[in-house]
Amino acid sequence: MHNDLAEVLFTEEEIAGRVGEMGRAITRDYACTADEGGIVLVSVLRGAAIFMADLARRIELPVEMDYLAVSSYGNGAKSSGVVRILKDLTSEIEGRHVIVAEDILDSGLTLTYLLKNLSSRHPASLEVATLLRKKTPAQAKIDCKYLGFECPDDFIVGYGLDYAERYRNLPCIGILKPEIYQ
């Protein structure tokens, strides 16, 4: 699988270091919520599950983990433009502090929809922790309180990110060679 990468953007060690920094920042920012039951981390399956698991282990507060499954890509390389919720949260988030753990902010379409949906459930607070943010001019305006890395507007795989359900298990993050997906 490594041979399918045009370039490694972030190594396993770089990712671990940055996720640790994000976890420490969340611990610091939400320390006062420990008596309120801590925070709810919400991951969008499947891509962000690895990131959220690692992030949760770096947060030194009570953490509840929950998952949404949404679809906007299918097996393609570009978003279809239609967001569908395939699996909803099982936790009640009203009055809770919620952090959406996102793998990559690309167009922002999916995350914009998701934030609007979660906000309608009246959480005490709602923030975003994204591992990657692509540098794209047409990206939706989304405030990410916790940002791992900025990355180029290329097809990115590894550390949970996939192409047609492959490459999620790469420990690094890299750019997929165009001939693989074209």
* pTM, to two decimals: 0.90
Are 83 and 56 a contacting pair, CB within 8 Å?
no
Inside any domain, residue 104:
yes
Inside any domain, residue 103:
yes
Residue 80's CATH number: 3.40.50.2020
Distance CA 39, CA 77 (A): 33
Q: Which of 31-40, 49-58, 71-80 has the lowest mean pLDDT?
A: 71-80
Confidence at 80, pLDDT banded by 50, 70, 90: low
**Rounded mean pLDDT, 172-179:** 96
**Rounded mean pLDDT, 116-129:** 97
Inside any domain, residue 43:
yes
Inside any domain, residue 11:
no
Inside any domain, residue 41:
yes
Are 156 and 174 a contacting pair, CB within 8 Å?
yes
Query: What's the domain count of the chain?
Result: 1
Q: Which amino acid is at 69?
A: A
Distance CA 146, CA 131 (A): 8
Inside any domain, residue 168:
no
Inside any domain, residue 172:
no
Question: Domain range holding 47?
Answer: 16-151
Q: Which helix (H) or strand (E) holds 156?
A: strand 156-157
Tell me, what's the pLDDT at 66?
A: 97
Inside any domain, residue 97:
yes
Backbone angles phi, psi at 170, to 5 degrees: -65, 135
Convert the pLDDT of each residue in 14-49 to its tens digit. 999 999 999 999 999 999 876 777 899 999 888 899
Q: Pick the catalytic residue: 54, 103, 106, 162? A: 106
**Rounded mean pLDDT, 106-128:** 94
Is 29 labeled as catalytic in the residue annotation? no
